[in-house]
A and B are shown apart, each in its own frame.
Chain A
């Protein structure tokens, strides 16, 4: 007797579904490749064509203040938003009673739906004047810290204001994501901590936060990604100068890449628009590097992640 290999049965539904899923998966890669190719090809004329007045000292000198502005504003936003998002998520998932937690959850989701133009307007008209006295106080009393040094802006439209607006913009998505992760902490591990005689806070430190660590990092990266690319709110709040300035309370602030593109593009002629696209390519690269770093952080302690 010869052993015949049983023929795998191919069902029509399975084949159709498998192919649909495959194309959905491939489409995301195709989109990414197309965008990258577009940015790359369109940037070339900026280096080969005639000299551009805005970038007479070379491309890198042109783009660097924007890179700095982008990263700096996003880092400020993340420093403010991450602890707040963790706090909101913890409160909703572990402290508030169920009905109030639901209400808060809706409020957080609603915040995420506000368009960034509105945040920009709010930043200029409400937040900047409101914060200005605080900025004065910070400058007077903590001016010896380089970040708070310098001549305080009279309008309140500063790097710190932008950071706060960005923080509020990324807060909802971060809080929502972290809340979901915290809610998935296995009951088993929470009870293990409580049965050892942990208080509520100790239980959170032993079981909830370590379990949610990867989720927190992912949420922070998502928030960072959003604030790196945010255009309108920054473009509206900042009146930029091309400088590199660590002081967050002054009126000379470096712009971000995205906001700069938005402000300059309508008037850009010739290969100046290609130059702006090249800065877009730099933004693309920054975002990719940030995501790779995040992946690396998460994978470093994968065996302790609780996923096994």
Chain B
């Protein structure tokens, strides 16, 4: 399953502060969409609105429409918990549950929906998710050991396994490799490319090379100054953004003139 996400006139607030202004874009299914831009431009804020994690912060709210395959994610009858079960998220710093084993970490999301599962079911799902996250061969002999004993890159793949175990429609990655070394980063990037076969993948990154390597579409965000709202400056195919952008600001950013 993979869903198309439409953002229409989306304004994102922290209490009265407008953090991201008037975003209109369509995120395609079975593709990787990258959000790039300088620090503070609202790209992380925006990605957190896609699974309604934004509103976890007191006072945070969203105006405008966010449609997932035509369904309004912010509709009055929509339960944010339901939304989050369909939209998996991987964070900047790997965050497996330290009190759970590797296996329990993988199953943690799935168990929220299905309290009862047989032992074989659990084992099959664990293997499938860990294979899907390219982690199976490294951890298959120590599934009962704590997840916090793994390396940073392995922990991040464990978090991806945990996210894909529930078979979501969309996977959000908020700077998933910024805390990792180059080899672990390469592993996560390869994985992201595999994941787009099945899911809609949205990735926030500080690393322009990363965006150009793996994404199909790139959205460039910028702010006019501190305290001003972030804006979507340009959104296009990744090759276009990096070779021949329409906006001067985009050109300046991707060529390294600022940021």
Contacts and interface: CB of A to CB of B under 8 A. Distances in A.
A60 interface: no
B98 A211 contact: yes
A304 B95 CA distance: 14
Contacts of A308: 98, 146, 148-149
A189 interface: yes
Contacts of B112: 196-198, 202
B166 A210 contact: no
Interface residues on B, range: 20 to 34
A94 to B, nearest CB: 12
B36 interface: no
A213 B99 contact: yes
A233 to B, nearest CB: 37
A129 to B, nearest CB: 45
A303 interface: yes
Interface string B110-146: 0011000000000000000000000000000000011
B81 A198 contact: yes
Interface residues of A, number: 24
Contacts of A198: 81, 112
Contacts of A303: 145-146, 149
A229 B113 CA distance: 47
A84 interface: no
A143 to B, nearest CB: 38
A154 interface: no
Contacts, number: 79
Nearest to A200: B81
Interface string A267-287: 000000000000000000000
Nearest to B85: A197
B97 interface: yes
Interface in A278-308: 303-308
A188 interface: yes
A196 B98 contact: no
Contacts of A197: 81-86, 109, 112-113, 166
Given A188-B93, A303-B146, A194 B98 contact: no
Interface in B140-184: 145-146, 148-149, 159, 162-163, 166
A304 B91 contact: no
Given A303-B149, A308-B148, A195 B99 contact: no
A3 B109 CA distance: 59
A189 B98 contact: yes
A194 B53 contact: yes
A194 B109 CA distance: 10
Contacts of A202: 112
Contact of A210 (B81, B86, B91, B100): B100
A282 B101 CA distance: 41
Nearest to A192: B95
B81 A199 contact: yes
B249 interface: no
A199 B93 CA distance: 22
A303 B112 CA distance: 24
A105 B89 CA distance: 34
Given A304-B100, A305-B98, A196 B149 contact: no
A191, A195, A198, A307 pick with most chain B CB within 10 angstroms = A195
A199 B84 CA distance: 10
B44 interface: no
11 contacts: A188-B91, A188-B93, A192-B96, A192-B162, A196-B88, A196-B163, A197-B109, A213-B99, A303-B145, A305-B99, A306-B148
3 pairs of A and B residues whose beta carbons are closest in the complex: A197-B85, A306-B98, A210-B99
Given A197-B83, A304-B98, A308-B149, 20 more contacts: A188-B91, A191-B53, A192-B95, A192-B97, A193-B97, A194-B56, A195-B91, A196-B84, A196-B85, A196-B88, A196-B109, A196-B166, A197-B113, A202-B112, A206-B108, A210-B99, A210-B100, A211-B98, A304-B100, A306-B148
Interface of A: 186, 188-189, 191-199, 202, 206-207, 210-211, 213, 303-308
